Structure formats: C-alpha cells, structure tokens
Amino acid sequence: MKKYLILFLVICAFRVAAQTNSDQQEIRSLLENQRAAWNKGDIKTYMQGYTKSDSLLFVGKSGPTYGWQKTLDNYKKSYPDQAAMGYLTFGIKKISFLSKDVAFVLGSWNLKREQDEPKGFFTLIIKKNKGKWEIAVDHSS
C-alpha cells in the first residue's frame, strides 16, 4: 500500500510540473504576442492579451481603470501613433501559480522612443478562461 501511495504522489507531482511548464510557456507566449503587436503599432491586437470584460483592472500612474474598452481607449489616447509607442521590451522576473487557473507575473518593461526611454515594472494576475490565459489585472508603474 505504501508503494502505491508513493507512486501516486510521484505521478501527481510530475503532472503538476508538466502543467506548470506548459502553462508558463503559454503565458510567455501571450506576453511575447503582446510585445510583438505593440512594436507593430497594433494596439487592438496587443489588447487581445487582456480579458475582454468589464472586470479587467488596469492600474497605472493615473490610478485604476476598469474594463477592456476603457483600457483600450486610454492606450489609444496615450499612444496615438507608432512614434509614441516606441519599441517595447519585457523582462519576465517571475511566474508563480496561485492555483491551476491563476498565475502571478512580475516583470519589467522598457520603451525606447526617439525622445526618451521610459521604463518600469509590472505585476499581472493572469487567469485561464476557457483554456486560454488572459490578463485580468495589470499594475504597471
């Protein structure tokens, strides 16, 4: 009986590790797709990484914004053209799973533009919705 219990625990640990690696790759791909869209000047495609819901929470220097459409409108206002958008890079510092369907991401961002180079950090809560990882909370500073 003890052998079966140990075997069961090893199999469970292996499945969790495999899921975590797969989910980490999916989350990294989501962020890479956002970065690529941003660098093409495509805010609408960039926004596909966010949950398309009124419950989306974005916190930036102006405070909290609720909702996908409001967040998109704010991006369009703040970044009206490719020159304002610049060239974006991310540095993913940590991905932690809070549950099988919720992840916490800590990272840095850097925006190279002709006139300046703003940079900062972000924390994300990313949730799996219908098999797809989506950003539910974004706090960028």
CATH number of 2-140: 3.10.450.50
Q: For the chain, which residues make up each domain, given as ranges?
A: 2-140
pLDDT above 90 covers a percentage of the chain that reads 84
The whole-model pTM stands at: 0.85
How much is the pLDDT for 9?
40
User: Token digits for 18?
Assistant: 């495999």
pLDDT above 70 covers a percentage of the chain that reads 87
Cα 14 to Cα 50: distance, rounded to the nearest angstrom? 30
Q: Is the confidence at residue 46, as pLDDT, over 50?
A: yes
C-alpha distances in angstroms, 3 versus 6, 7, 9, 15, 79? 5, 6, 10, 18, 60
Cα 47 to Cα 26: distance, rounded to the nearest angstrom? 16
How much is the pLDDT for 20?
75
